[in-house]
Every structure is written in C-alpha cells, then in structure tokens.
Amino acid sequence: MLILLAAVSSCRSTPSPEPFARDRLGQVCRAIGYAATAQGIARDQLNRSLDLSRPAALGGASPQAAFDSTRKDLLRSAARIETAAERVAFAQVRVDDLVERWDRELGSYEDPDLRDAAERNLRALSGRLEGVMKALETAQSRFEPVSRHLADRMLLLSHQADRSTPVEVTQSEESRLKYEAVRADMNRDVGAASDLVDEFNRAVNHGRPD
C-alpha cells in the first residue's frame, strides 16, 4: 500500500504533457494561415468592388442600378473584412495560449540548463509570432480607408437618383493620390503579412513528416 501511495504521489507531482496530437504550435500555424487567407480574400473582393464601381465600368446603368450594384459590392467587402478580423482575433488567442502554456511548462524542468535552452527557444518563437501578428494587424487596418472610399462612391450614387446616368466625377490630384496610396498600402501590407505567415509556417514545418 505504501508503494502504491508513493507512486500516486509521484504521478501527481510530475507534469503530464499534453498528447502530441493536440500540437499547439500546429494549431497556431493553421490559425495564422487562415487569417492571412481571409485577408487575401477581403483584399481581392475590395479591389474588385472598387473597379466595378467606376462609372466607366457601370456601363451606362441608371444611378439606381449603379447604386444597388455598388451597395451589394460594399456589403460583400464588409463581410470579407469582418471574417478576416475574426480570423486575426482567433489567431491571437491561439498565439497567446501557446506562449502562456509553454511559459508555465518551463517550471516543470529539473535541469536548469535544459530549462534555459527551452526559455531561449520560447522567447525567440514568441518574438517571431509577435512580428507575424503585428503584420496581420497592420494589414487589417488597411481595409478601413479603402472601404470608406467605396462607401463614398455608393453615397454619391444615392444622391444622383434624379439623373439618367451617373455623373463622372473629376478627381483632384490630391484626392487621386490619396486614393491610390491607401489602395497601394492595402495591397502591399496584406501581401507582406501573407509572405511573413508563409515564411513562419515553412520554418516550423521544415523537416516534419507529412
């Protein structure tokens, strides 16, 4: 009986690692991958919506028809952007869970050298993940000024209901440059975040069996 009690006591004091199937790092890789994919879909939808809302692309449609078309595109874009935001938030939850759990597990080491090595590895991993999440958050912030421009176009069409065809608006140079800049920022930063996610996931999965 004493031997059995001692064994039970030993089991309780020794941490039981999670089953490998849980693979927390793999969950993080999938979560950030889904976030980057969702941002790419949102970017593509927003670019399509902007191109289709130009008077030249509306093909002489009535202001009402042009308004309806642009409104649908804006709603589609908003839905894609919201999905991307949810994916980014979920990825952050996965990252925080990974770092917090691994940090707690450092206290389970008996060998200080192994613990120090594990801590250095965790800090390096945490730093890389912080960079990935910052890139995703930056990319997410680029959608708002672009979608606002699309909303402006929709509003203008709603104010042209008394006309037979939409008015071709002459953009000032300042306005044109601002529009081109925010759109370029979106395309650049969404692409940069996706590249960083791919780079991280390749590094993690390098050498793993399929």
Residue 82 within a domain = yes
Query: What whole-number distance in Å separates Cα of residue 187 and Cα of residue 185?
Result: 6
Q: How many domains does the chain have?
A: 1
Residues 171-188: tens digit of each pLDDT:
778 878 888 999 999 999
Residue 50 within a domain = yes
pLDDT reading at 18 higher than 60 = no
Residue 46 within a domain = yes
Burial 195-205 (b: 16+ CB within 10 A, else e): ebbeebbeeee
Residue 9 within a domain = no
pLDDT reading at 109 higher than 50 = yes
pTM of the full structure: 0.80
Residues 41-85: tens digit of each pLDDT:
999 999 998 887 776 656 667 777 778 888 888 899 999 999 999
Residue 168 within a domain = yes
Residue 49 within a domain = yes
Residue 148 within a domain = yes
What is the chain's mean pLDDT, rounded? 82
Residue 196 within a domain = yes
Assess contact for 145 and 182: CB atoms under 8 A: yes
Query: What whole-number distance in Å separates Cα of residue 46 and Cα of residue 83?
Result: 13
Q: Which range of residues forms the domain containing residue 141?
A: 19-204
pLDDT confidence band for 165 (50 / 70 / 90): low
Q: Please tell me which residue, 129 or 157, carries the higher pLDDT value.
A: 129
Helix ranges, the chain (H):
2-13, 24-52, 63-105, 112-141, 143-158, 173-205
Query: What whole-number distance in Å separates Cα of residue 28 and Cα of residue 81?
Result: 21
